[in-house]
Amino acid sequence: MGSVKARTGAKSLVKGPHVHRNLSVPQLIEAAIARGEASLASNGALVALTGARTGRSPRDKFIVRDAATGPVVNWGKVNQPFDPADFQALLDRVIEHMQERDIYVLDLFAGADRGYRLPVQVVAEYAWHALFVKQLLIRPTEAELASHKPEFTVIAAPEFEAVPERDGTKSSTFIITDFTRKLILIGGTRYAGEMKKSVFGALNFLLPDRDVFPMHCSANIGANGESALFFGLSGTGKTTLSAAPRRRLIGDDEHGWSADGVFNFEGGCYAKCVDLTEEKEPQIYHAIRFGTVLENVVIDERQGVPDFTDMRHTENTRAAYPIEFIENAAIPSMGGHPKNVLFLTADAFGVLPPIAKLTLEQAMYHFFSGYTAKLAGTEAGLGREPVPEFSTCFAAPFLPLPPKTYAAMLGRRLRQHNAECWLVNTGWIGGAFGVGKRMSLPHTRAIVDAVLDGRLAKMEFIREPAFGLHIPTECPGVPQELLQPRNAWQDKAAYDAQAALLAEKFTANFARFDAPAEVRAAGPPAAMPRA
């Protein structure tokens, strides 16, 4: 009977006595605790564990390949095709599964700018998942709720596990987007971040046609009304550096850049919690309270206090909270055109400068590259040396279209608004990981402050030879010897060899891109001779 109903589509799922629609935050917390899904910490945050899946599952992510997606999607390891008939069969099974249990339905928006926002409906098997997505997407007003008509539906069924031989998946987990049905189907994983990132992926497909540049970045705005963008992969400092006390936060992760300015896709923040302290990150620390969802954070059994240093479940501990929990948040989450765009990288090779000013062509080159580095020992199979990670446009797992689509949009926006672009290394200096030291957060904050208030642009710049980058000879609040990375190494020959090695990896990675000749020429000069 369930599969017959399912043929009419996902709408049949949100009707009936098992459906709990648009519950309040206290109601969702109460339901999650009563159902044994989560517990309450002493500070009022709801704490949930995600089990075996403590992060995204990229090998289990698919896009339905049909007439709408076939000619335009950048198919490959990231955007894996899924058969439409297999999707329909799997959807039928998921709906039948969901019709046999209580479910939580939320009507929300993605996009703070009403001119471009996407009405979204989320159908969740877990109450804590519903709370998570309620806090992270944009919550409608009462008037907006009355007229809400979803254009995209997300179904999250963590307790439904696929059978690969039957369902056409690679494992029991699946994250599948159907752009014709306008439906995202998630199962076999309790990691709530899959919902958030799947909506982001949908916007990356839909918005370029509306002349909106979708970006995996954080953003804030100064007293002068000028916004700033912070691109970077996980662990490079997007959330930390954009949450600045003298600037208002637009958002910490996903934004659009339209003809009118910058706007947040979300209504909340998804901050990493590992080693979080009030001293280092006071705004994030104080945002963790009643209504916040903590993922995989260990709670002291006697006092119920979160222990952000305990990583027994994963290093990827997270806090999800509404953006208004951040002091000085910009409400609504919008800003003017940015005057500064910062690319953040955590260079574990220890050879990139703490700050460099990029030409337009270099900006596009490093945007295509999306570089950071993984550390030895953090993943199974990694050896002793740092491992470069190149994530196209700082967002490879979430980009359905070819990289040149997004890079071209960046180039146009930078030209139109005469924005400066900077490369900021929040990683190692004076040596590679294990020898050098990580840039201190106060020094990085001083660099970012000098960029955003215009002081750094007035300094003298010199060109370093390894990557052709323009670096300042001085920066307020930063020791001069740190600014030129080669000078910070005791063994200059070791620096030369390490820099040449990383430059070669940049060049090898860039060979796969369809990029203009002037952008290709903006990469590292010919590899210097090894010492």
All domains of the chain in start order, with CATH = 2-37+60-210 (3.40.449.10), 268-325 (2.170.8.10), 339-520 (3.90.228.20)
Give yes or no for residue 382 having a pLDDT over 60. Answer: no
Q: Which two tokens stand for residue 441?
A: 């957060």
Q: Which of 117, 129, 197, 366 is catalytic?
A: 197
SS (H, E, C) 270-328: EEECCCCCCCCCHHHHHHCCCCCEEECCEECCCCCCEECCCCCCCCCCEEEEEHHHCCC
Share of the chain above pLDDT 90, in %: 85
Q: How far does Cα 25 stand from its chain's mean position? A: 24
Catalytic site residue 50? no
Answer yes or no: are the C-beta atoms of 46 and 30 closer than 8 Å.
no
Q: Which of 12, 234, 440, 507 is catalytic?
A: 234
Give yes or no for residue 17 having a pLDDT over 80. Answer: no
At 73 the pLDDT is 98
Q: Which of 117, 129, 134, 216 is catalytic?
A: 216
Tokens 């799947």, residue?
198
Q: Which residues contact 15 (CB under 8 A, 6 or more apart)?
A: none
pLDDT in tens, 441-483: 999 999 999 999 999 999 999 999 999 999 999 999 999 989 9
Q: Which of 107, 178, 253, 449 is catalytic?
A: 253
Angstrom distance (rounded) from CA 358 to CA 342 = 10
Give yes or no for residue 99 having a pLDDT over 60. Answer: yes
Q: What's the pLDDT band for 23 if we cut at 50, 70, 90?
A: very high
Q: What's the pLDDT band for 375 if we cut at 50, 70, 90?
A: low
Tell me 329's DSSP state.
B
At 5 the pLDDT is 38
Q: What's the pLDDT band for 377 if we cut at 50, 70, 90?
A: very low
For residue 332, is the peptide bond before it cis, meaning its omega torsion is within 30 degrees of 0? yes
Give yes or no for residue 240 having a pLDDT over 90. Answer: no
Give yes or no for residue 230 having a pLDDT over 50. Answer: yes
At 378 the pLDDT is 37
Q: Which of 61, 93, 117, 238 is catalytic?
A: 238
At 526 the pLDDT is 54
Catalytic site residue 337? no
At 384 the pLDDT is 54
Catalytic site residue 470? no
Tokens 């010492």, residue?
531
Give yes or no for residue 47 having a pLDDT over 80. Answer: yes
Residue type for position 2: G
Which of 232-241, 362-371, 485-494 has the weakest average pLDDT? 232-241
At 387 the pLDDT is 87
Give yes or no for residue 329 having a pLDDT over 50. Answer: yes
The pLDDT of 39-66, averaged and rounded, is: 96
Angle at which helices 492-510 and 360-369 cross, to 10°: 80
Answer yes or no: are the C-beta atoms of 188 and 110 closer than 8 Å.
no
Catalytic site residue 170? no
Catalytic site residue 318? yes
Q: Which of 248, 318, 339, 404 is catalytic?
A: 318
Give yes or no for residue 58 having a pLDDT over 70. Answer: yes
At 245 the pLDDT is 81
Catalytic site residue 238? yes
Give yes or no for residue 128 having a pLDDT over 70. Answer: yes
Catalytic site residue 392? no
Q: Which of 69, 239, 333, 369 is catalytic?
A: 239
Share of the chain above pLDDT 70, in %: 95
257: β partners? 213, 262
pLDDT in tens, 346-364: 999 999 999 999 999 999 9
The pLDDT of 251-260, averaged and rounded, is: 95
Catalytic site residue 286? no
In degrees and rounded to multiples of 5, residue 373 shows phi and psi of -140, 140
The pLDDT of 261-274, averaged and rounded, is: 95
Look over the chain and give the mean of its residue pLDDT values, rounded to a whole number.
92
Q: What's the pLDDT band for 529 if we cut at 50, 70, 90?
A: very low
The pLDDT of 44-54, averaged and rounded, is: 96
